[in-house]
Amino acid sequence: MPPRQTAGAGRRRIAAAAAAFALALASASCDFENPSSDGSGEGVFYALGDDHRLYRWDAAGGSSGEPEPVLDLSGVWEGQGDVGTVLRASLSIAPGQKYAAWIDGASPGAVLEFGNLETGEITTGAAYPVDHACIDPSWLADGSALLVHRAAVWGIAGEPGGRADTDAIPLPAKTWGATEWYSPEAGELPTTMDLTTQGCRLRWYTDEDGAAQALYHDLDVTELYRVDATGSVLETIPVPSLKGTEPLTIGLVGVDPSGRYACLVDGYGPYGAYKGGFTIRAESGTRVVDLEERQAVGADDTTCVSVHADGYVSRDGTQVAFIDYTGRSLWATDLPDTIAESPVLFYFPPD
């Protein structure tokens, strides 16, 4: 059965998020002291430029390395609604770095788009007038398909949540729909997953036997769930049982490839934004947690942008660092000017 939702707690959480709305990058006081680095990094980053293009940057070249444009996303700004927020909250890069996916639009006319990172070609995957604010499209760990959550979240004029003015974008309504699979190459795939327990921020990983599993949290962010590819709950982790996190945990940013480490968000401030009845996906987290030990790990006062087998990427303004789970900074480098102000970062370690 789905976990019981406390209406009062949910309203307090939403009110706090709305009051603290500030969609910006997470910034910590840490200055990444004593990294074992010469000013360059390792691996590849993807980020947005001021010209609305998606760039690929090889960190081995340091900040002097020139990012390469791979996708032109300027067409997003031709849509209706808060298209920039929706783009930032839905953009993702497939494992394998062949495709990107995002929601184009913030209205009943929104669509799910796929971008080929090798050719720059953009194709439409599906109409997406949906709940992009809770379960954002998430890639399988092998990059073969994307799990999407499509629900009729836009109110109809004359009905609760709608608007009398039929020319206006209707108000979003908080609903829950089925999940579906889409592939950038094969299109819609058979539905295999039934998430009977409502929740948000589903992130895929591969278990020790090679099977696809995922982690997500309930609507009030009081529990984390491990599920298999059918949606069956394998484990429930009470959020209050996680030691070393702040009392108020509001979201999940990512999980490492094995499902052991998770990047969580504590508090509000710059880490999330209120929209459409849910908190938009955070662009950065505040704490990495070892879910086996149920204990916070890594360096104090660092953010987490993404988590990986050997550590996590932290960002402090225009500088990024890779920190292992003991808290040691392995390398740090400045972002090049082209992507230094990007609201989102995606990192892929070297093979």
Among 85, 126, 102, 105, CA closest to 46 = 102
Residue type at 240?
Answer: P
Instruction: Examine residue 325 and state whether it is found in any structural domain, yes or no.
Output: yes
Instruction: Examine residue 1 and state whether it is found in any structural domain, yes or no.
Output: no
Instruction: Examine residue 78 and state whether it is found in any structural domain, yes or no.
Output: yes
Q: Determine the pLDDT at residue 212.
A: 95
Burial of 59 (0-12, 13-18, 19+ CB in 10 A): buried
- 104 lies in which domain range? 7-348
332, 320 contact by CB (below 8 A): yes
Alpha helices in 149-220 (DSSP H): none
Residue type at 291?
Answer: L
Q: Determine the pLDDT at residue 177.
A: 64
Instruction: Examine residue 30 and state whether it is found in any structural domain, yes or no.
Output: yes
Q: Determine the pLDDT at residue 55.
A: 98
348, 43 contact by CB (below 8 A): yes
Instruction: Examine residue 305 and state whether it is found in any structural domain, yes or no.
Output: yes
Q: Determine the pLDDT at residue 130.
A: 55
The vertex-26 CA angle with 24 and 30, nearest 5°, equals 145
Q: Determine the pLDDT at residue 41.
A: 78
Instruction: Examine residue 278 and state whether it is found in any structural domain, yes or no.
Output: yes
DSSP states along 329-341: EEEEEEPPGGGTT
Read off the CATH number of the domain in which 220 is found. Answer: 2.120.10.30
DSSP states along 276-307: TTEEPPPSSBSEEEETTTTEEES-TT--BSEE
Show Cβ contacts of residue 59 under 8 Å, excluding neighbours closer than 6 positions.
40, 41, 42, 43, 44, 45, 65, 320, 333
Instruction: Examine residue 326 and state whether it is found in any structural domain, yes or no.
Output: yes
Among 74, 77, 70, 78, CA closest to 47 = 70
The CA distance from 112 to 126, in Å, is 5
Structure tokens that stand for 233 in this block: 């709950």
Q: Determine the pLDDT at residue 282.
A: 74
- What's the structural domain count of the chain? 1
Q: Determine the pLDDT at residue 224.
A: 96
Q: Which regions of the chain are under pLDDT 50?
A: 1-32, 36-37, 131-132, 157-158, 160-166, 169, 172, 269-279
Instruction: Examine residue 119 and state whether it is found in any structural domain, yes or no.
Output: yes
Burial of 112 (0-12, 13-18, 19+ CB in 10 A): buried
The CA distance from 316 to 325, in Å, is 18
Residue whose tokens read 């970062």? 345
